[in-house]
Amino acid sequence: MNWFHRWRRKRILERHLIPHAAFTTTVADLPILQGLSPEEQARLREQASLLIHDKAFSAAGGADVNETIQHLIALQACLLTLNLSEDSYHGWSEIILYPDEFLRQHEEMDEAGVVHHSRDILTGESWHGGPLVLSIADVVASGKADGFNVVLHEFSHKLDMLNGDANGFPPLHRDMDAASWAHDFNSAYENLCRRVDAGEDTAIDPYATANPAEFFAVLTEVFFETPHILHMEYPAVYRQLQRFYRQHPLGRLKAHAHA
- Digit-coded pLDDT (tens) for 68-86: 999 999 999 999 999 999 9
Q: How far apart are CA 259 and CA 41, in angstroms?
A: 17
Assigned CATH class of 167-259: alpha beta
In the chain, the percentage of residues whose pLDDT exceeds 90 is 80
Q: Which fold has domain 1-144?
A: Cyclin A; domain 1 (1.10.472)
Domains of the chain by residue range: 1-144, 167-259
CA angle at 252 for the pair 206 and 223, rounded to the nearest 5°: 15
pLDDT digits (tens, 9 = 90+) for 130-148: 899 999 999 999 999 999 9
pLDDT at 116 over 50: no
Q: How far apart are CA 238 and CA 234, in angstroms?
A: 6
* Residues near 95 by beta carbon (within 8 Å), at least 6 away in sequence: 55, 56, 57, 58, 73, 131, 132, 133, 134
Q: What is the pLDDT of residue 103?
A: 56
In the chain, the percentage of residues whose pLDDT exceeds 70 is 90
pLDDT at 102 over 60: no
Q: Name which residue leads in pLDDT, 111 or 4.
A: 4
Provide the whole-model pTM.
0.90
Residue 96: phi and psi, rounded to 5, are: -100, 130
pLDDT at 47 over 50: yes
Q: How far apart are CA 222 and CA 153, in angstroms?
A: 10
pLDDT at 257 over 80: no
Question: How many helices, marked H, and strands, marked E, lie in the chain?
Answer: 11, 6
